[in-house]
Structure 1
Amino acid sequence: MGVVSYDFEITTPVPLAKMFKAVVLDSDNLIPKVLPQAIKSVEVLKGNGGPGTIKLITFNEGSQYKTMKHKVEALDKENFTYNYSIIKGDVLGTTFEKISYEAKITASPEGGSVCKNTSKYFTIGEVDTTEEKIKAGKEKASAMFKAIEAYLLANPDAY
C-alpha cells in the first residue's frame, strides 16, 4: 500500500465558530441542501457524530457514484479539528483502500476563517494515482466548501 498526500487551504470571510458548525457539526443536514445536484442524503448509520460514527452518503441520479461510507476518526470542538475517512463506496474504485481527511479551521486576522485540509489517499498495492484524480478530489472539496460559504453569506442568521 502506498500513501499519496496533499494539503490545501481555503480562506473565507465566515467567522471560525460559524464555519466549523456548518462544515462539521451540521454537515449532514447542510450538504444535501447546498449541493442538491450532487448529494441526495447523509444518514448516520452508527454513533452520535463523534469518533467511530459511520455515515452513509447517497449521491443523486446522474452522479458517477452511488454511495460512500465515511467514518469519523476524531472531532475536537475546542480546537476546531475534524478527521474522517472514506472507508467504502464506489468513490474508492479499485485504486484506493481509503481516503482520509484532516481538517483544521482557524480564525483569520480579518475576522473570517481559514480551513487547512490534508488528504491522504491510501492506494491498494503499488498503484500509481494520477494527478488528475488528486486534482479532481481537491476541486470537489473546494466546491463543497465554497457552496457552504455561499449559503452562510446569503443566510447570515444561520448558525
Structure 2
Amino acid sequence: MGVFTFINEYISTVPPARLFKALILDSRNLVPKLMPQAIKSIDIIQGDGGAGTIRQINFIEGNYAVVGFIGIKSRVDELNKETFTYRYSIIDLDEKFESIVHEVKFEPTLDGESKNKVKDMYYTKGDVELKEEDVKARKGIVLGAFKATEAYLLKNPNAYA
C-alpha cells in the first residue's frame, strides 16, 4: 500500500466563518447551484450533517469521466465549527484505493481574510502508483467549488454572514 499526500493552500478575502458556513455546512444546497455544469446534487444518505454523516455527491453525466466517478459517497469524520476544520473520507472506492481522506481547515489571517488548507491523502492498494496529474481533475472540482463559493460570497456580502 502506498500513501500519496497533496497539500494545497488558498488565500481568500472572505473571512473563514463565512467560507466554512457556505462551503462546508451548506455545501449540499449551495455548491450544486454554483457549479451546475459539474455537480448534479449532494444528498445526505444518513446522519444530520455532523460526524458520521454519509453523503452522496452526484456528478453531471459526461463529467464523470473527468473525475473517474459518476458519484461518490463520503463520510464526515470530523466537523468543528469553532476551529473551522472538516475531515471526510471517500467510501465505496474502486480497486485502486484503500481510502481517500480530505482535511480542510479555514484559518483567519491578521487582516480578516482567510488562509485555507486542503490536505488530500490517497491510500492506494498494492503497488498502484498515483501521480499528481492523476488527481488533477478532482483537485479542479475542489478548487472550482472554492472559487465559485468565494465569488458568490463577495457578490452577496450578507450571505452566510
Q: 1:157 aligned to 2:158?
A: yes
1:143 corresponding residue in structure 2 = 144
2:49 corresponding residue in structure 1 = 49
Q: Report the identity percentage.
A: 48
CA distance in 2, matches of 1:19, 1:66: 27
Q: Deviations over 1:114-156 (max 9, x none)?
A: 1111110011212111221133333322121111111111111
Q: State the one-letter code of the partner of 1:103.
A: V
Contact preservation (8 Å) 1:95, 1:129: no
Q: 1:18 aligned to 2:18?
A: yes
Deviates more, 1:59-68 or 1:34-43: 59-68
> RMSD value over aligned CA atoms?
1.3
1:36 corresponding residue in structure 2 = 36
Deviation of the 1:93 alpha carbon: 4.3
3-state SS in 1 of match to 2:104: strand
TM-score, normalising length: structure 2: 0.91
2:110 corresponding residue in structure 1 = 109
Q: For structure 2, which runs of at least 5 residues remain unmatched after alignment? A: none
Q: For structure 1, which runs of at least 5 residues remain unmatched after alignment? A: none
3-state SS in 1 of match to 2:144: helix
Q: State the one-letter code of the partner of 1:71.
A: R
TM-score, normalising length: structure 1: 0.92
